[in-house]
A and B are shown apart, each in its own frame.
Chain A
Amino acid sequence: MHSILPLPFFHVWSYLQTQPLMGLTATLCTWELACFIDIKAGHKPITNPTFLSITLLACALLVTGTPYSAYFNGAQYVHFLLGPATVALAIPMYANRHSIKKHFVPIFISLTTGSIVAAVSAMLIARALGAPHDVLVSLGPKSVTTPIAMAVAQNLGGQPPLTAVFVMITGVFGAIICTGVFWLVRVKDWRAQGLAAGTAAHGLATARMILINETAGAYGGVAIGLNGIITSIMLPLLVNIFGF
């Protein structure tokens, strides 16, 4: 495909593929474009900027034949910030500490139950539909935040990159449908909404709740942290019990 292009263009293109500049610039430009589309569309669930950005960038990589590693060479600088952003969740948690302390028992019961239901139902359904062992254990931790999910999948003999994809699909799906689901089952309490979003669909659904209500965002943050800890401990036991 490149052979028909003029030589200087090909030279510049090959050079850029070895540099972090293009992957990083592409990520930020695509994000801005996705946010612009989201605003123009009036914040429709389907125009979720994360979902749009991933779709656009994945298509761009496939069309141009750019390997993911060349893209990630630049995008890793954005990816790295997930770590400090996870730590930063302590600030909204602190702001809501009295409410969380007071309701610790309901939080713990709802979160643990929801977390187990989400993980076990996903693995049972996938097993019934013929998915092999490594796909099942990669699917188990899909509701927790990416760095935790990848570590848990690795310990269980799954494939961390596959888990990262499942975590993304779960998060995008959760962020798109969460408000509709809460409306359908009449969950109106911001605390319950935030906790459910963070438990079932980690930071992506929480990112959406943060934009809607601060309390919901704080409970989402609590759910991400607690569910990460609970899933790391519970999932190996559940995998044993159900024989996945």
Chain B
Amino acid sequence: MVRSIMMLLLCQLAGTVVQEGTGLPIPGPVMGLVLLLGLLIWRGGPSQSLHDTAGGFLKYLGLLFVPAGVGVVTELQVLKANALAIAVAIPVSTILGLVVTGVLMQRLLRGKADA
């Protein structure tokens, strides 16, 4: 398990180094994701331990968003001043995004089974 966590952190670190070094707008962890995916394709799949560790992280993904979300308390004034704009823009645009992506994807995939 320690080795698997080390692997995830090394990928994130390498991704962050590349991002800071090149000034690309793609954040370090995303670059780390691409790097790990490349490694898995090259080396032929994750070990059982990496598979389980990653599963553990993803199972608690919802928990990991909590600290940033509680940051809402620091932005109450801006939120209050723009309450109507935010209360309409976020729900409407999120529904539009869900519908457009989902319907388009389903149309384009029609009749195509998984590989």
Contacts and interface: CB of A to CB of B under 8 A. Distances in A.
Nearest to B91: A173
B68 to A, nearest CB: 5
Nearest to B40: A94
> Interface on chain B toward A: helix, strand, loop, or mixed SS?
helix
Taking residues whose C-beta sits less than 8 angstroms from the other chain, chain A's interface range is 35 or more
B83 to A, nearest CB: 10
Interface in B66-105: 66-75, 78-79, 82, 84-86, 88-105
Interface residues of B, number: 75
A27 B53 CA distance: 21
Given A75-B70, A187-B103, A206-B61, A166 B86 contact: yes
A137 interface: no
Interface string A219-235: 00001010011001100
Given A88-B58, A122-B93, A228-B30, A196 B70 contact: no
Contact of A195 (B41, B105, B112): B105
Given A79-B64, A170-B90, A115 B97 contact: yes
Interface in A41-96: 48-50, 53-54, 57-58, 61-62, 68, 71-72, 75-76, 78-79, 81-94
Contacts of B114: 98-99, 102, 191, 215
Contacts of B112: 102-103, 106
Given A174-B98, A185-B102, 17 more contacts: A50-B66, A53-B69, A78-B67, A83-B29, A87-B12, A87-B32, A98-B114, A117-B100, A118-B94, A118-B97, A126-B86, A131-B85, A135-B85, A135-B86, A147-B27, A166-B90, A167-B68
Interface of B: 5, 8-9, 11-12, 15, 25-30, 32-34, 36-37, 40-41, 45-46, 50-51, 53-55, 57-75, 78-79, 82, 84-86, 88-106, 108-109, 112, 114-115
Interface of A: 27-28, 30-31, 48-50, 53-54, 57-58, 61-62, 68, 71-72, 75-76, 78-79, 81-94, 97-99, 101-103, 105-107, 109-111, 113-115, 117-119, 121-123, 125-126, 129-132, 135, 139, 142-143, 145-148, 151-152, 155, 159, 161-162, 164-174, 177-178, 181-182, 185, 187-189, 191-193, 195-197, 199-201, 203-204, 206-207, 210, 215, 217, 223, 225, 228-229, 232-233
